[in-house]
């Protein structure tokens, strides 16, 4: 039987300062949470119609998903704030900043640096957001006047983080900026999926979730290919939290490796990290079963055990004694676990759950950021 959880009122648009204590996160929805059979393999019957997709963000993940969709015969536009990137991409079909050796599908057109026009946005079937969580509110605020609620494109979010000043999940940010009706049909994709492997068409599976089962199915059909399998569900809160929290535990795993600890320690951190993620998620109202899916333990294992992970790399370099500021400047891409970790200890304390690993990483991140540690 599907569990039910009443999520009362969403935070108002007026946010309290970061220094003030915020109440336990609450949402203005009623949502069904995932049951033991709640994550379902997407039907392999493809929708033959091809879509027009606008990808916000030209980083690792935005670029690889644009390539995946372009190679699936969809028409893709990829927005970047960097004028040089837009020009270079359109001339050579290569991204000069990430995945540099890959030649991208000719079905992709880069746009920018100006924000996409209302005419372009309104001609799209799908809007895919592959930008850091800290930029989602600004982007949606700018975008909202161009959205026609009666003819709304499919909205897909692939960012993994918690807004640091407000402690808001992306679902809350969507509701704040665009309204609850739009948030209810927003779709989220998460799971063990390194960009460098997706562009090589290596077998990959992800979780695709929404409060609307129909919209989750639409998104899964958009992405499904023999090498890219989607499993749908209806617990966006759990999937969002899993995607944000696993980055924090990846920093911990990287730090342990950087300090010279080996397999026993890694196994401990992954196992106890999963327990902490589940506790935190359950306190938010997510289903504990979500943390046993691709978006939960699958992504946690991948991110905590590979030097390809940006968050693992941040932790490893911290363990080796580097300063956080220097690591961030030279990393080449965003590690969302850093910002998530900074606000996580306060969230854990507010929820009243035991999460010593997450709290420790949050404390270390704050100390390193203020140059009083290492």
From 16, 30, 151, 246, the catalytic residue:
246
Q: Closest Cα to residue 224, out of 45, 372, 39, 1?
A: 45
Q: Dig out the tokens for 263 from the structure.
A: 């397999």
CA distances from 225 to 108, 157, 222 (A): 18, 19, 9
Q: By the 8 A CB rule, do 146 and 118 touch?
A: yes
How many residues belong to the chain?
374
pLDDT in tens, the chain (374 residues): 222 223 333 333 323 333 333 344 454 444 434 443 356 665 544 454 699 999 999 999 999 999 999 999 999 999 999 999 999 999 999 999 999 999 999 999 999 999 999 999 999 999 999 999 999 999 999 999 999 888 999 999 999 989 988 989 999 999 999 999 999 999 999 999 999 999 999 999 999 999 999 999 999 999 999 999 999 999 999 999 999 999 999 999 999 999 999 999 999 999 999 999 999 999 999 999 999 999 999 999 999 999 999 999 999 999 999 998 899 889 877 788 888 888 888 889 899 999 999 999 988 755 454 433 33
Burial bucket for residue 183 (CB in 10 Å: 0-12, 13-18, 19+): buried
Tell me the sheet residues that pair with 207: 190, 231
pLDDT at residue 362 in the model:
85
pLDDT at residue 86 in the model:
98
Query: What are phi and psi for residue 336, nearest 5 degrees?
Result: -70, -15
Q: By the 8 A CB rule, do 134 and 164 touch?
A: yes
- What is the spatial distance between Cα 146 and Cα 116, in angstroms, rounded to a whole number? 10
Q: By the 8 A CB rule, do 160 and 136 touch?
A: no
Q: Dig out the tokens for 326 from the structure.
A: 């220097």
CA distances from 237 to 217, 284, 333 (A): 17, 8, 25
Q: By the 8 A CB rule, do 374 and 255 touch?
A: no
Stretch (H or E) spanning 207 = strand 204-210
pLDDT at residue 40 in the model:
61
Tell whether omega for the bond before 113 is within 30 degrees of 0, i.e. cis: yes
Q: What is the dihedral of CA 54, 156, 131, 171, to 10 degrees?
A: 140
Q: How far is CA 79 from the centre of its chain?
A: 18
**What is the number of other CB atoms lying within 10 angstroms of the CB of residue 347?**
24
pLDDT at residue 356 in the model:
94
Show the CA angle centred on residue 308, arms to residues 268 and 266, nearest 5°: 10
pLDDT at residue 38 in the model:
58
- What is the spatial distance between Cα 19 and Cα 29, in angstroms, rounded to a whole number? 27
- What is the spatial distance between Cα 132 and Cα 136, in angstroms, rounded to a whole number? 7
pLDDT at residue 65 in the model:
98
Stretch (H or E) spanning 6 = strand 3-7
- What is the spatial distance between Cα 349 and Cα 286, in angstroms, rounded to a whole number? 18
Q: Is 100 a catalytic residue?
A: no
Q: By the 8 A CB rule, do 185 and 10 touch?
A: no
Output the pTM of the full model.
0.86
């Amino acid at each position: 039987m599907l569990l039910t959880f009443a999520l009362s009122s969403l935070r108002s648009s007026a946010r309290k300062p970061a220094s003030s204590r915020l109440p336990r996160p609450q949402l203005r929805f009623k949502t069904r949470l995932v049951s033991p059979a709640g994550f379902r393999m997407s039907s392999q019957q493809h929708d033959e119609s091809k879509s027009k997709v606008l990808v916000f963000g030209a980083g690792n993940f935005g670029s690889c998903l644009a390539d995946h969709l372009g190679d699936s015969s969809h028409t893709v536009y990829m927005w970047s704030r960097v004028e040089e990137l837009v020009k270079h991409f359109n001339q050579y079909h290569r991204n000069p900043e990430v995945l540099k050796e890959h030649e991208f599908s000719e079905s992709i057109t880069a746009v920018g640096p100006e924000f996409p026009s209302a005419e372009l946005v309104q001609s799209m079937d799908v809007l895919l957001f592959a930008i850091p969580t800290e930029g989602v509110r600004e982007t949606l605020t700018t975008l909202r006047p161009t959205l026609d609620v009666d003819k709304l494109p499919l909205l897909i979010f692939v960012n993994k983080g918690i807004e640091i000043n407000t402690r808001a999940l992306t679902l809350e940010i969507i509701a704040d900026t665009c309204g609850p009706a739009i948030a209810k049909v927003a779709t989220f994709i998460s799971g063990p999926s390194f960009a460098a492997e997706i562009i090589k068409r290596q077998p990959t599976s992800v979780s695709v979730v929404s409060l609307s089962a129909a919209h989750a199915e639409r998104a899964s059909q958009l992405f499904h290919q023999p090498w890219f399998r989607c499993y749908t569900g209806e617990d966006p809160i759990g999937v969002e939290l899993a995607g944000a929290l696993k980055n924090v535990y990846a920093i911990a795993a990287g730090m342990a490796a950087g300090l010279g600890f080996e397999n026993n320690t890694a196994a401990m951190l992954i196992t106890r990290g999963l327990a902490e993620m589940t506790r935190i998620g359950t306190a938010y109202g997510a289903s504990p079963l979500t943390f046993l899916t691709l978006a939960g333990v699958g992504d946690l294992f991948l991110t905590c055990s590979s030097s390809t992970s940006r968050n693992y790399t941040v932790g490893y370099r911290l363990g080796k004694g580097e300063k956080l500021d220097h690591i961030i400047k030279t990393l080449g891409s965003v590690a969302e676990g850093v910002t998530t970790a900074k606000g996580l200890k306060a969230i854990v304390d507010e929820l009243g759950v035991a999460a010593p690993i997450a709290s420790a990483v949050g404390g270390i991140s704050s100390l390193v950021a203020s140059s009083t540690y290492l």
